């Protein structure tokens, strides 16, 4: 359990350090351009990952509460799979999901109280009055990689002539942690979930059944 915990702590620290720096050095909407396709763009969102919104003020409390319950539940699941000594890559992926979810929970629960607003100014840390109440903080996002820019051809259905950007969402370390873990689980699902062994075991069982059926008929 030590290594997964260290991974969780490491991702959380990196996520919060980056967010703290952006929050205390940039105003909302400010950008630092390293290239046309690599931008630090300070934005905040009230809802889900990658800048999506969810259900206003009550939705915000619901989403944060759900995330808290989810993180607690998946942490106990992590302890279970560690004890069962399942695939290590799977364990690390679960740890990354926990770290990502916890990173954005910290923003939602605490940032409204410990920071002032960032509109047209640099936020201050631990002001007399924060920009929101507990559980209503906004999640800080900053990584923006518009690698491809262009317009859909005029003949393209629905979006003909409209501008497209790939990759459009602005995200943070926590979002990336969750996304990477999901991608890894998809790419290495055979190794993680022992699908090859499961398939071989199923084939052996089917062969045994066929042999039993043939013997019975004889």
Per-residue pLDDT of the chain (218 residues; tens, 9 = 90+): 899 999 999 999 999 999 999 999 999 999 999 999 999 999 998 765 554 555 566 777 888 888 899 999 999 999 999 999 889 999 999 999 999 999 999 999 999 999 999 998 999 999 999 999 999 999 999 999 999 888 888 888 888 888 888 888 999 999 999 999 999 999 998 888 775 454 544 555 565 566 566 655 55
CA distance 139 to 19: 9
Which one from 15, 36, 107, 141 is the annotated catalytic residue? 141
Residue 162 annotated among the catalytic residues of the structure? no
Helix (H) or strand (E) holding 144: strand 139-144
* Pair 106, 16: CB distance under 8 Å: yes
CA distance 107 to 130: 13
Angle of helix 88-106 relative to helix 2-25, nearest 10 degrees?
30
* Pair 43, 118: CB distance under 8 Å: no
Cβ atoms within 10 Å, residue 204: 10
Spell out the alpha helix ranges (H) of 150-194. Answer: 173-187, 189-192
Helix (H) or strand (E) holding 151: strand 148-151
Give the three-class secondary structure for 14.
helix
Cβ atoms within 10 Å, residue 40: 17
Q: Taking the model in full, what pTM does it have?
A: 0.82
Which one from 15, 36, 162, 175 is the annotated catalytic residue? 175
Helix (H) or strand (E) holding 204: helix 195-217
Q: Report residue 187: phi and psi, to 5°.
A: -70, -35
């Amino acid at each position: 359990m030590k290594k997964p915990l260290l991974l969780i702590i490491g991702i959380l620290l990196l996520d919060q350090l980056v967010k703290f720096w952006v929050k205390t050095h940039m105003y909302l909407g400010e950008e630092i351009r390293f290239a046309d396709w690599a931008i630090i763009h300070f934005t905040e969102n009230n809802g889900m990952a990658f800048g999506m919104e969810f259900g206003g003020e009550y939705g915000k409390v619901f989403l944060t509460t759900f995330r808290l319950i989810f993180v607690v539940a998946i942490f106990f699941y992590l302890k279970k799979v560690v004890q069962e000594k399942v695939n290590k890559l799977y364990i690390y992926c679960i740890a990354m999901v926990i770290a990502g979810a916890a990173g954005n929970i910290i923003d939602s629960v605490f940032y409204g109280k410990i920071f002032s607003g960032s509109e047209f100014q640099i936020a201050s840390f631990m002001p007399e009055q924060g920009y929101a109440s507990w559980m209503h903080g906004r999640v800080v996002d900053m990584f923006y990689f518009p690698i491809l820019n262009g317009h859909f051809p005029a003949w393209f259905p629905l979006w003909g002539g409209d501008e497209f950007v790939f990759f459009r969402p602005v995200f943070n370390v926590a979002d990336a942690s969750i996304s990477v873990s999901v991608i890894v689980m998809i790419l290495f699902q055979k190794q993680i979930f022992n699908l090859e062994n499961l398939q071989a075991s199923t084939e052996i069982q089917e062969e045994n059944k066929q042999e039993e059926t043939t013997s019975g008929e004889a």
